[in-house]
Structure 1
Amino acid sequence: MGFDPNEIVTVELDCVGWHAAYTRDITRHQLGELLLKLDDMAEGAVTAPEWPTPEQAYIKAPSISSESEWTKRTADEWHDELDREWYLRHAALLDRMALHDDPEQQGAVTEDAEAVATGLLDMDRAPRHYDARAYVRQQYALWAAEQPYDPWGTSK
């Protein structure tokens, strides 16, 4: 008992947010090829990156007070010419401050850290399904590792 690879079958796709289902008549052979392609795509799917822990990300970071002074001074000097480095360091500063918040009761610092981290995701056009604060930690660790100089004025 076999099947005819040229037999026509109806495939219906329906996803959340679609106005109507997408229906298409294809052969069993085409359906088999489509399923193989979907399997291949699933195997090669991009997974969320491994995020560094806060300790790993901020191991070489200056004190919170030093970084706070830098972000304020730089914002005052540069006004509306702030670059990605400033936004990254500001997001990392808020993330570090939020780590001291009680996890059971998110305070204003935690909310600010989330908002600024999401802004960095958008600035970088990173996927919105990423954990925004984990993304900040990853980007900060990468940025700090690439610095040819000591951005904080301390010896490494």
Structure 2
Amino acid sequence: MSFNPHEIVTVELDCVGWDSPYSRDITRHQLGELLLKLDDMAEGATTEPEWPTPEQAYADAPSIAYESGWTEQTAKLLPDELDRDWYLRHAALLDRIALGNEADQPGRAAEEADATALVLLDMDQAPRGFDARAYVRQQYALWAAEQMRAPWGNGSK
């Protein structure tokens, strides 16, 4: 099977956190070179992404008391309509509680935070090999940044 190296193909890249996919028309030859570069980059890359610290992820988060009230009230009012945002905020809340308790009494709070973080991993179909709570922090930071840009939010969550 032969192919024309000058034939034009469309390449579309889409990553978590991007507003929209990136598309570009390139030749098959350029595509081959790009794939070789990506292979070279992958050889030196770690499989674990760089995660935000808890301080970075939750810098602009509402208080734990507010988030606790919001997640509880939303779960009571709309139990059949809980969406990804609810699960993300709930997982972030439990992570924050666990972080506050870890120095004094690690255990139940950390277990609940870990279990809830795994639910979010599964919802997002993210690899189970990730640090689940670090994944929650990353996703919360992305979500919070999006809320700040949203026209309906005026910078509020």
Distance in structure 1 (CA, Å) of the matches to 2:143 and 2:45: 26
Distance in structure 2 (CA, Å) of the matches to 1:55 and 1:47: 23
Q: Normalised by the size of structure 1, how large is the TM-score?
A: 0.67
More helix by share: 2
2:77 paired with 1:77: yes
In structure 1, the residue matched to 2:113 is 113
Between the two proteins, what is the percent identity of the paired residues? Answer: 68
What are the superposed Cα offsets for residues 22-76 of structure 1, whole Å, 9 maximum, x if unpaired? xxxxxxxxxxxxxxxxx85952766221100000000010100000000001101
| Aligned 8 A contact 2:102 2:110 in 1 | no
In structure 1, the residue matched to 2:20 is none
Alpha-carbon deviation of 1:78? 0.7
RMSD of aligned C-alpha atoms?
Answer: 2.1
- Identify unmatched segments of 5+ residues in structure 1: 1-38
Q: Normalised by the size of structure 2, how large is the TM-score?
A: 0.66
In structure 2, the residue matched to 1:8 is none
- Identify unmatched segments of 5+ residues in structure 2: 1-38
Structure number with bigger Rg = 1
Q: Which moved more, 1:120-129 or 1:40-49?
A: 40-49
Query: Which SS does the other structure have where 2:55 is aligned?
Result: helix
Give the alignment of 1:73-152 within 5 angstroms.
73-103=73-103, 106-147=106-147, 148=150, 149=153, 150-152=155-157
Give the alignment of 1:13-24 within 5 angstroms.
none
